Amino acid sequence: MGCGKSSVGRRVASITNHRFVDTDELVAARAGRSISQIFAEFGEEAFRDMETEVLAGLGNEQQIILATGGGIVLRPVNRDHLRRIGPLVWIDADPEVLFERVSRNRRRPLLQTENPRATFDALLEKRRPIYEAAADIHVDSTGLSHEETARIIIEEVVRFQDRHQGSGFGS
């Protein structure tokens, strides 16, 4: 949350001529509601179910740059779906930077609490080990522009694919 997944993902897609896909946008379109409305009307578990459905529907898509909600990796089945699409990139940043970024958006359903900072810290503490275990590539975007982060991700994906018998980005 707040690391710039969608903005950076769009830049990576533009640079690599891949199609950009955002699971939150797909879930919202399928439900005919915003993510905040889905959370308010149906709850987080229903949102996570929709997220899993959308991800499974992407099947073995290739040549896409996929941005996901931060909680998608909480379910092991989702991590399996993601791995079929490509390497998992964890865009990270200093917690202070992340919280400052998410504070700008008042529509974040998981932060609609009495103490958003405490909620954010608890979510990050719970999720960080899962992100670390799931990620093939970890990029710290603290102090970097979206463009710089995108370029580093592309370089790291190429290195990852070269190490794993790939022939470059998107193979």
Burial class (CB in 10 A: 0-12, 13-18, 19+), 120: buried
CATH of the domain at 86: 3.40.50.300
Q: Could you tell me if residue 170 is inside a domain?
A: no
The pTM of this model reads: 0.86
Q: Could you tell me if residue 14 is inside a domain?
A: yes
In the chain (171 residues long), the average pLDDT of successive 10-residue segments reads 88 96 96 93 95 92 90 93 92 90 72 81 92 95 95 96 70 44
Neighbouring-strand partners of residue 118: none
d(CA 145, CA 79): 27
Which one-letter amino acid corresponds to residue 153?
Answer: I
pLDDT at 167: 46
pLDDT at 8: 96
Angle between helices 95-103 and 116-134 (to 10 degrees): 120
Q: Could you tell me if residue 168 is inside a domain?
A: no
pLDDT at 61: 83
State the SS3 of 14-75. HHHCCEEEEHHHHHHHHHCCCHHHHHHHHCHHHHHHHHHHHHHHCCCCCCEEEECCCCHHHC
d(CA 63, CA 24): 19
pLDDT at 146: 95
pLDDT at 102: 79
Q: Could you tell me if residue 169 is inside a domain?
A: no
Burial class (CB in 10 A: 0-12, 13-18, 19+), 124: middle
Q: Could you tell me if residue 89 is inside a domain?
A: yes
Full domain range(s) for residue 111: 5-163
Residues 6+ apart with CB under 8 A from 130: 73, 74
The number of distinct structural domains making up the chain is: 1
